[in-house]
Amino acid sequence: MVSNVSKDEALKSASSIVALLSQGSDPFISEEVRVEALQAANLVIRALEKPEDGLIKFAFSPATWMAVRVCAQLNVFDIIARNETISATEIAKNGNADETLIRRLLRVLTAAGFVAERGDGLYGPTHWTVHINSRLAQGMIKFMYDASMLPISHGPNWLKETGYQNPIDPQHGMFQAANHTDLPTFQWLAVPKNKDIWDNANTFFEGDRGSRPSWLTWFPAKDKLFPQGHDQDTPLLVDVAGGRGHDLMDFLAKYPDEPGPFVLQDQEPVLESATSLSPKIKKQVFDLFTDSPVKGARIYFMKFILHDYMNEQCIQILANVKASMVKGYSYLVINDFVLPDTGCGLLQSQWDLMMMVLLSSMERTETQWKTLLESAGLSIEGIYSPPGDGQGIIVATL
């Protein structure tokens, strides 16, 4: 990131935005152009915003996050999304809340563009309102706020007390200190009293790619991984710890004529909540650390799994996958961030810190991925970059 942006640099960036957005006749710009234009727009903003003002705005931003969470709790976004114009009085009555409180919360959200202001105490939807009201966005808001805010607030003191060491112990991290537990985060989430947070987490996992394109839209999966089909006595693809099967369903949508079989593996409560799967998909209860996936599959797919763990745990997980792979036939496909050594984007670097806060884990650079997979006895066929700033693909074999 550039700390100081001159007037000339800002003008150059503004000109590049116009040029980028003028490319072609298609109203939908490509992911690469979108990300490049956003980066240029951020340079313009930094040129116009004085550091004093920018830092104050940043310091007060948690208040916006709190307002979003409370309004989600009161179903305010749903109410507004269903009405062209609605009053604070009606919103407050619906949520059994104080009208003055509703006005104060929505004052922030209208300023942020999340809700439209139609007049004094009158509100309507924007495209942000509609998105925030979606099931996946609601899961993200509730899980990320409820699971992360307390550990984040503990972060500075926890790091000071531990001598500013990089967190590596999944049983003794910021999350455990904040929640007074020595359970690893996923075990804590599985405790019955935390069911709502765990449900919201699994909903968020369905949409954690955001608007970024699926790997299946830019990576030639069939050409590289199963150009001549596969042995139909064994699975074409096993989605290892695949949640509710959203990525596996994307695969089936891309390749509807592939006969499978396909296997979705995860913990039993997660699989029970996966209710909209293709009949081609077999559910299989699975534990990353104790079980090997079904043997002999063509593809073992792991999206956002290994970033949840440090190397020691990852090597144990990979050993279980290796035990099921067939040399010369099976592929391990990892869909995860591959951080650049320099010039890392804001989203990826924030995601890395969130892994640190919640799981005492990390996102990895290309060098770190190579070191991990080689340590696990795997050979890297290739590391492939996505368009824009999404998750990459790492293909490994025995």
Shared domain for 159 and 225, answered yes or no, is no
Same domain, yes or no: 308 and 354: yes
**What CATH number does the domain containing 262 carry?**
3.40.50.150
Domain of residue 269, residue span: 215-397
Give the per-residue pLDDT at 25.
55
Instruction: State how far the alpha carbon of 289 is from the alpha carbons of 311, 314, 338, in Å.
Output: 13, 9, 24
Is there a single domain that holds both residue 237 and residue 171? no
Same domain membership, residue 348 and residue 230: yes
337 domain-assigned: yes
Our CA angle for 295, 301, 303, nearest 5°, is 145
Distance CA 130, CA 137 (A): 10
The reported pLDDT for the residue numbered 35 is: 78
Q: Is residue 62 part of a domain?
A: no
261/374 same-domain check = yes
pLDDT at residue 27 tops 70? no
Mean pLDDT of 29-35: 75
DSSP for residue 69: H
Q: CA-based angle 263:389:243, to the nearest 5? A: 20
**In the listed set 163, 185, 206, which residue is the last one of a domain according to the structure?**
206
Looking at the fold, whether 359 and 226 belong to one and the same domain comes out as yes
Residues 254-292 have pLDDT tens digits of 999 998 899 999 999 999 999 889 999 999 999 999 999
Count of domains for the chain: 3
Same domain flag for 307 and 382: yes
The stretch 170-177 carries a mean pLDDT of 97
Domain match, 190 and 270 both: no
Residue 22 lies in a domain: yes
Percent of the chain topping pLDDT 90: 80
The tens digit of pLDDT for each residue in 179-194 reads 999 999 999 999 999 9
Q: Which of 26, 49, 72 is where one domain is finished?
A: 49
**pLDDT higher than threshold 60 for residue 90:** yes
Residue 2 pLDDT grade (very low, low, confident, very high; cuts 50, 70, 90): very low
Claim to verify: residue 197 and residue 265 sit in the same structural domain: no
- Written as six digits, the tokens of 143 are 């899980």
The pLDDT tens digits of the residues spanning 122-168 come to: 999 999 999 999 999 999 999 999 999 999 999 999 999 999 999 99
Residues 331, 356 within the same domain: yes
Does residue 49 surpass a pLDDT of 90? no
The pLDDT of residue 4: 63
Closest C-alpha among 108, 102, 97 to residue 86: 102
Please say which residue of 151, 178, 206 terminates a domain.
Answer: 206
**pLDDT surpasses 80 at 5:** no
Contact, 109 vs 115, CB < 8 A? Answer: yes
Q: What is the pLDDT of residue 223?
A: 96
- Are 224 and 179 found together in one domain? no
**CA torsion angle 305 307 308 314 (round to 10):** 80
Residue 391 lies in a domain: yes
Q: What is the per-residue pLDDT across 109-124, written as a single tens digit (0 to 9) for each?
A: 999 999 999 999 999 9
Task: With respect to residue 149, please indicate whether it lies within any of the assigned structural domains.
Answer: yes
Question: Is the same domain home to 190 and 280?
Answer: no
